[in-house]
Amino acid sequence: MSEDRLIALLRGIARHPGARGLMDDAAVLAVPQGDLVLTHDMLVEGVHFQSDDAPADVAWKLVAVNMSDLAAKGATPLGVLTGVGMARDDDWNAAFVAGLGAALGHFGVPLLGGDTVRMPDGAPLTLGLTAIGRAPPGGVPQRGGARPGDDLWVSGTIGDAGLGLALRQRAARAPAALIAAYCRPQPRLLLGGALAPLVTAMMDVSDGLLIDASRMATASGCAVTIALDAVPLSAAARAFAGATLDARLAAATAGDDYVLLFAADPAAAAELAALAATHATMLTRVGTFAAGQGIKLTDGGVPVPLPAKLGYLHR
Amino acid sequence: MSEDRLIALLRGIARHPGARGLMDDAAVLAVPQGDLVLTHDMLVEGVHFQSDDAPADVAWKLVAVNMSDLAAKGATPLGVLTGVGMARDDDWNAAFVAGLGAALGHFGVPLLGGDTVRMPDGAPLTLGLTAIGRAPPGGVPQRGGARPGDDLWVSGTIGDAGLGLALRQRAARAPAALIAAYCRPQPRLLLGGALAPLVTAMMDVSDGLLIDASRMATASGCAVTIALDAVPLSAAARAFAGATLDARLAAATAGDDYVLLFAADPAAAAELAALAATHATMLTRVGTFAAGQGIKLTDGGVPVPLPAKLGYLHR
């Protein structure tokens, strides 16, 4: 596929006037006065996705991982720019662009511009996406705002994507819900926006509940204790892998969850419960912050040693 | 180099408060109400730069090609996000980050955030940069705004970078000015901002004067005629390659110039001359737009056949 042909396909999904038909040097986006939230995440073939992943799933993930960052800051997406290292395969490119359009449509965010490049022969596909969002009116939650005494909460369930990935890698027959959790993460933008004024700190869980919670604790200058028996598992995960301590530890270190992890004053609990009901989601208290540093684990109130790995470790 | 170590280096050059110390999921940028100008360009090893290019030159180019897009829209840079596929070589990464800091400092634009990934072994380095700018108050010039009767102008000189690349590729002893034109393109942000209210169309010359002028003509629904004898050549280029028709054709099709190409009503000529003096630069009228379509060339008023290639062709 020529670069011109790929741009023509992208033009088909870039209908926002600010995209200028992808015919100009830059995009133009009208913004209200205030704070923007900006994020850029990359996906690389062989690192973040596999060569035989469906192109529409790769496109979904490229959009979703960035929407997850916006959700974690309570932001409302305004637009994205993409950097697309082209595949050698015309069908792949076409399916990727169609999937990109569908994913952007799902999250209601326009494609404003970007760049396309033909990678050298044999190079892995390399994709980047920049997402621009409007900050929530009350300020952008930090990763480092948790205070001693705060509770640690998580939205949704933990470990589904990790099971989905493991099962997919073994080509096993796996529950569709677990595969979907890995292939089609569902960042909760509206939930993030609603949580923003209630939290003292917020981030998304991308590398694993334990490692991401420890990062929040470190950034906040606090210690955190996580009750493994409180870690929320889905029905599909329980049915497939059980709910033993080992299963919970695996779930809490697997990563790819793209759920929201946040700290809140205990006084916010009732408001959080009401918000969970409004958004038809689960919000679960999984830990507490204290003065000090580091992460501790318990199970039924009994201390549990830390596992060798707290989550996905970048080399 | 570990990803953590690279992020620590990047943190050293990300001192804007909106970067949140590169410790958060996203950056936060306060913006005035109005239009933003957004661009994202990628550089890939083996495509846009070579493995033996100096890392600081690669960093400069990554920043400069995006600043050139902002300049072409008359925008004032507010910040950038980077997507860095890490090198396997620690020294390369360190020199790249130092060069990135120097380039961003030169253009006065803060690093706000981004992503780092370790590429699979043997993969080409892949770099992306998103630049966010504030639109000029009178509106963002389009690529497609030229009208029949407008003049076509170019800033600076044409062809220096092309000579620099050719000489560098042949490892020849070449004038430093030509090598620098290739390795360290100098987008003119202030000039772009000053030109914005005077032009009917504007873009940067990245792939070659002729191909980019033909793109402006196509986007504007006009024909364009370029006077090759008017194409401005630097003293270094004249001394090295002469000013024959062939030399001018080579200059006008070489690309990598990162100068401004713009259309303006003939009545703006006096104001443009004054602006050139203020900004200590050359602005040269190199052509005219007319009703119709396509690109024509002349030399001393005599028609010249189009060369086989109008500029750098993306595959």
**Helix (DSSP H) and strand (DSSP E) numbers for chain B:** 10, 12
State the smallest CA–CA distance between residue A176 and chain B in angstroms: 29
Q: Does A140 touch chain B (CB under 8 A)?
A: yes
Closest CA to B202 of B250, B254, B268, B249: B268
How far is residue A256 CA from its own chain's centroid?
7
Q: Spell out which residues of chain B touch residue A203, defining contact as CB-CB under 8 Å.
A: 24-25
Mark the ranges of chain A whose per-residue pLDDT is less than 50: none
Tokens of A110: 């326009």
Determine, for residues A25 and B47 on separate chains, whether the beta-carbon distance falls below 8 Å. Answer: no
Task: Write down the pLDDT at residue B168.
Answer: 81
Phi and psi torsions of A58, nearest 5°: -65, -45
Q: How far is B71 from chain A (nearest CA, A)?
A: 10
- Closest by Cβ to B28, choosing from A4, A82, A135: A135
Residues 6 or more apart whose CB falls under 8 angstroms from that of A218 comprise: A293
B window 145-174, beta carbon within 8 A of A: none
Judging contacts by C-beta atoms under 8 Å, the chain A residues touching residue B87 are none
pLDDT at B294: 97
Query: What pLDDT, on a 0 to 100 scale, did the predictor assign at position A314?
Result: 61
Measured torsion, CA atoms of residues A162, A164, A166, A171, in degrees rounded to the nearest 10: -170
Q: In angstroms, what separates the C-alpha of A144 from chain B's closest C-alpha?
A: 8
Pairs across A and B, CB distance < 8 A: 215
Q: Which residues of A touch B144 (CB under 8 A)?
A: 23-24
B132 in reach of chain A (CB within 8 A)? yes
Q: Does A143 touch chain B (CB under 8 A)?
A: yes
A114 lies within 8 A of chain B by CB: yes
B9, two tokens = 């280096």
Strands of the sheet containing A111-118, edge to edge, are A111-118, A76-86, A126-134, A34-44, B27-31
- Is B26 within 8 Å of A42 when comparing Cβ atoms? no
Query: Among residues 248-267 of chain B, which lie with CB inside 8 Å of chain A?
Result: none
Q: What pLDDT does A171 receive?
A: 66
pLDDT of residue B169: 73
Query: pTM of the predicted model, to two decimals?
Result: 0.94
Closest CA to B10 of B126, B75, B104, B108: B104
pLDDT at B86: 84
**Closest A-chain CA to B118:** A315
* Both tokens assigned to B73: 């829209």
Q: Which pLDDT does position A77 carry in this prediction?
A: 97
pLDDT of residue A175: 87
In the predicted model, residues of chain B with pLDDT beneath 50 are none
What pLDDT, on the 0 to 100 scale, is given for residue A172?
Answer: 63
- ipTM, two decimals, is 0.93
Sheet of strand B126-134, all strands in order from the earlier edge strand to the far edge: A27-31, B34-44, B126-134, B76-86, B111-118
Helices B90-107 and B3-12: crossing angle in degrees, nearest 10, is 30
DSSP string, B103-168: HHHHHT--EEEEEEEEPPTTPPPEEEEEEEEEPPTT-PPPTT---TT-EEEEES-SSHHHHHHHHH
Instruction: Say what the pLDDT of residue B172 is.
Output: 63
